[in-house]
A and B are shown apart, each in its own frame.
Chain A
């Protein structure tokens, strides 16, 4: 038998050429940040700052794209294939789902960055119309007859889950953990909700732009933003007697960054959120900075509110999520559209 080396090697060469071409063509220098609803302005500002920082450090030009929506919905998008290099969502449970349902990240993702991977915090407050015509002062006013309350849907929105749990925490304290009374209160509150948006920004539109409702249960940063954007003459912020410490976490999506070769830049991007400049930007956009010196600078901006934590009041998200927001959970029992 005659053996022609070239002919025998040709399939290998053809395959090698094909895959070489593919790898060259697949190169991408962008990052996608999949985030929740009200962080548009924060990350628009932060992305530019980090791109400058990254270029000065490495010489590489970086473009960070943003995707926003209800936190739960965004998490499902990433599980279903949305190629987010990093996720910056409203609550840890939604990021946990990336491990639980997709194995896209390690189980211990929350230990990879300081402060349980939450570079900033926020809380839940009330936004009312100028002069507070319905006299809203605290959570019990939201369940009064004739008060129209705006909040997004806890099934799709991370912010809405914080809203619900803050109301629950207040009611639990008020009614000495009498679950029947707490459920009755929550039911009366949601009976006053005429529209359930899928995300916090949608609810802002409903309350601020469409003029619906007397009070908007809102992220603190979103309430500040509404007052800033539409003028203090139109809206007022009311701080309830008790609220919840919201810790929006961040992480890089291991399977995506490994595939795209963006692990180093994605990691640096999130670490930069903890830097003085990153914290400064967070404070500027009404998120409560973690870094002490930056937090001190913004101390007067954020009033003192008695805050419960998800771990302290509800035993953590792993317990709270299925109990309250799972299929047939307390929210399903309480809320009848």
Chain B
């Protein structure tokens, strides 16, 4: 008891004296712990930020190399990040109907529904400058022959070294006929006019082309010159089995007022095209706008006993052409003369004789958009796509054309029958086109054709009245 009384104050005093030191040590430890904790948290935050930064860098890096996929009115495409590699899937389908007046008369075609063109298109680019295009056709009646696989319409590569200097090789349209060079999906009428029948269609060869001051189709000056196997008027070919000679084809087309301030003239395009070569082999028939034959050379499977006319010599063509588009109005026209040396290589009258036959064709076609769209040689985009709910009725276009194909009178009677073939076809037609949207179009055409000569057939004597319609989707 005595002990407690003696030492208790001392313990209390001593305890009170040492308390500040204990508290100070505890505080320092706490601060140290907190500092460590803060440093750890700081590191964790920095690490998270850095990981986010690296994730973003990785995503950005991946985006640089990731291909993009797109779908739209212009088709479907896959494009590499640097745009140097592109693959496009495009195509168009044309479901037609043809109705003829007097088709109960012998020799007149039947009314029919048909698939005029069924064409998937694969286009693309590799290594930035090298384009390719493959267009097939599975339309009604498309076949393959020894000289032309019609299933393959286009198959060519284009090396775009410069806008002014490009090299094209493969099967492509020869650069001649104006309307022939227009895409089959953008035609004003269901069927092309007469000049196309005297121009070459698709052929295999190599072509140099280029544009100065502007993109293809709207440049100040466009040129194309190429060497091809050579094909008969209106024909296509995949291989030249008839002769060794090749055709030169060339075209120059300009928009001379492209860079002027005169709005009314900027849509004027003028050009000239032609071919020159030595052609042998089979010749083609000519048809009306309604695709009924009105002229054919005398041919025979047994030339030893009957007349058989073939190409045998120089063939040249000259085709001045032009168009004019201003606002809703558009007009295009072309003339073509085809001069081909032919031979009656069979038996019978005129056997062995040669003749240089000059056929000519021309047409003028005009159209006007009632709904205010800007007219163009290319596809037209309606201001308001068809959608009754939203008050859109698409684009409505009226069209008219007139044209003629005149066969050289010297073709008769040695090279063609004056009773079975006409010497001239003259047509006029009107059309109504409904562009529901950029991809869907409906055509309604009426064409009337009168023929001169060949009165032995009902068709040629009475003429042709044809109503053609088309429902088309293109992308």
- B-binding residues in A (CB < 8 A): 1-4, 7-8, 10-11, 14-15, 17-18, 21-22, 25, 148, 194-195, 197-198, 202, 206, 210-213
Contacts and interface: CB of A to CB of B under 8 A. Distances in A.
A105 to B, nearest CB: 22
B248 A7 contact: yes
Contacts of B225: 14
B208 A212 contact: no
24 contacts: A1-B243, A1-B244, A1-B278, A1-B280, A3-B244, A3-B278, A7-B248, A10-B248, A11-B205, A11-B206, A14-B206, A14-B227, A17-B208, A18-B208, A21-B167, A194-B43, A194-B47, A195-B51, A210-B46, A210-B50, A210-B53, A211-B46, A212-B43, A212-B46
A22 B161 contact: yes
Contacts of A11: 205-206, 227, 246
B383 to A, nearest CB: 43
Contacts of A18: 159, 167, 206, 208
Contacts of A1: 243-245, 278, 280
B278 A210 contact: no
A4 B167 CA distance: 24
Interface residues of B, number: 33
Contacts of A194: 43, 47
Contact of B246 (A10, A202, A210): A10
Interface of B: 43, 46-47, 49-51, 53-54, 58, 159, 161-162, 165, 167, 205-208, 225-227, 243-248, 276-278, 280, 313-314
Contact of A2 (B46, B206, B278): B278
A195 B244 contact: no
A25 B247 CA distance: 29
A334 B272 CA distance: 75
Nearest to B278: A2
Given A11-B246, A21-B161, A198-B54, 11 more contacts: A2-B245, A7-B245, A7-B247, A7-B277, A10-B246, A11-B206, A14-B226, A210-B46, A210-B50, A210-B53, A212-B46
Contact of B206 (A15, A21, A210): A15
Contact of A22 (B58, B159, B277): B159
Contacts of A210: 46, 49-50, 53
A212 B245 contact: no
A14 B208 CA distance: 7
B245 A202 contact: no
Contact of A25 (B50, B51, B162): B162
A190 to B, nearest CB: 15
A25 B159 CA distance: 12
